[in-house]
Amino acid sequence: MAADGTKKRGGAKPDLATIGGLLLATVGIVGGLILEGGKIQDISQVTAALIVMGGTIGAVMVTTPMNVLIGAAKKFGLVFFDKGHSSSHLIEEIIEYATKGRKSGIVSLEDDLEKVSDPFLKKALSLAVDGMELQQLRDMMELQLTQDEKRGEAEAKVFEAAGGYAPTIGIIGAVMGLIQVMKHLEDISAVGHGIAVAFVATVYGVGVSNILFLPAAAKIKARLHHDIEARELMLEGVCGILEGLNPKLIRSKLEAFLDTGAAGKKGAKGAKEAVSEPASV
């Protein structure tokens, strides 16, 4: 019986790198300001934040189709939480299906389809159980992989666009602040303070671009590539099951997706055992 994939992989885990990076960047910037004799109140400007965030989000909405925008908003959680697949758990799950399929026939896996947690793996196994030919199955699932990758790249570009707009919107906010300063040149003592406040919007624009938006785009792309690799692993596993390969040989193929050298050695050893072992049902 195939194990429950959800139980094996676990739920979403907080991304400590993202959380720690944001904290470190914030502490570094604010700490530097304080060491230079500044105060947190110097950069605490609600109007500047409103101009930068409102203007940036508005510009992104103008340039992005609504379905991509909604998808990108849903993907934002991936910046702070890791919901990725565990390759080792996936391999164990697929090997269980391969062992059962080799022993009782691939049609016997139909009883396990409801227990498959990943939609991509479930679809691939379902097509295999339904008797689809190997090349047709591979072509269909690779087409889905390509489309999912294109969609994910488009969603990541939403944050790249936001990172490009934010500094410019910050400059607009600074200019608007300077306009207000110029209206009161009669009070020379307040001019310097007004100019300093005006440039806070520029700080917000450059900061949110380089600390949040652009890193978020890079993180989402990294998550996407990891997910695509996991799906490629699933596809290779299902194709191996459909071909009727020895589970040990399937394991050695799938362990190529692992990053550890130990896994590579283990996979090579498994391949030798699989080749030397006589075929059996």
Q: Tell me: the pLDDT tens digits for 92-107?
A: 999 999 999 888 888 9
Q: Regarding predicted confidence, which is higher, 62 or 43?
A: 62
Does residue 180 fall inside a structural domain?
A: yes
Does residue 13 fall inside a structural domain?
A: no
Give the pLDDT score at 105.
87
Tell me the average pLDDT across 121-146.
93
Cα(106)–Cα(110) distance, integer angstroms: 8
Give the pLDDT score at 264.
43
Tell me the average pLDDT across 5-29.
77
The one-letter amino acid code at 8 reads K
- CB-based contacts of 72, cutoff 8 Å, min separation 6: 64, 155, 156, 158, 159
Q: What band does 198 get if pLDDT is binned at 50, 70 and 90? A: confident
Q: What band does 134 get if pLDDT is binned at 50, 70 and 90? A: very high
Give per-residue pLDDT as tens, 243-277: 988 999 999 989 888 864 434 444 444 444 444 44
Of 1-15, 47-61, 129-143, 215-229, which range is least confident? 1-15
The distance of Cα 1 from the centroid of its chain, to the nearest Å, equals 31
Give the pLDDT score at 4.
42
Of 48-62, 139-153, 182-196, which range is least confident? 182-196
Does residue 12 fall inside a structural domain?
A: no
Give the pLDDT score at 153.
95
Give the pLDDT score at 217.
96
Alpha helices in the chain (DSSP H): 5-9, 16-35, 46-63, 66-75, 87-104, 119-129, 134-182, 188-198, 200-208, 214-243, 247-254, 261-276
When divided into structural domains, the chain yields a total of 1
User: What element of type H or E holds 82?
Assistant: strand 81-82
Residues spanned by the domain of 90: 44-75+85-244
Give the pLDDT score at 2.
41
Does residue 39 fall inside a structural domain?
A: no
Does residue 253 fall inside a structural domain?
A: no
Of 80-84, 118-122, 206-210, 266-270, which range is least confident? 266-270
Does residue 272 fall inside a structural domain?
A: no
Average predicted confidence (pLDDT) for the chain:
84
Tell me the average pLDDT across 221-232.
92
Closest to 74 (Cα-Cα) out of 161, 155, 149 = 155
Does residue 181 fall inside a structural domain?
A: yes
Give the pLDDT score at 87.
83
Give the pLDDT score at 274.
41
Does residue 2 fall inside a structural domain?
A: no
Give the pLDDT score at 11.
60
In this structure, what token pair is assigned to residue 262?
């130990």
- CB-based contacts of 42, cutoff 8 Å, min separation 6: 33, 196, 200
Give per-residue pLDDT as tens, 57-82: 999 999 999 999 999 999 998 899 88
Q: What are phi and psi of 124, to 5 degrees?
A: -65, -45
The one-letter amino acid code at 143 reads L
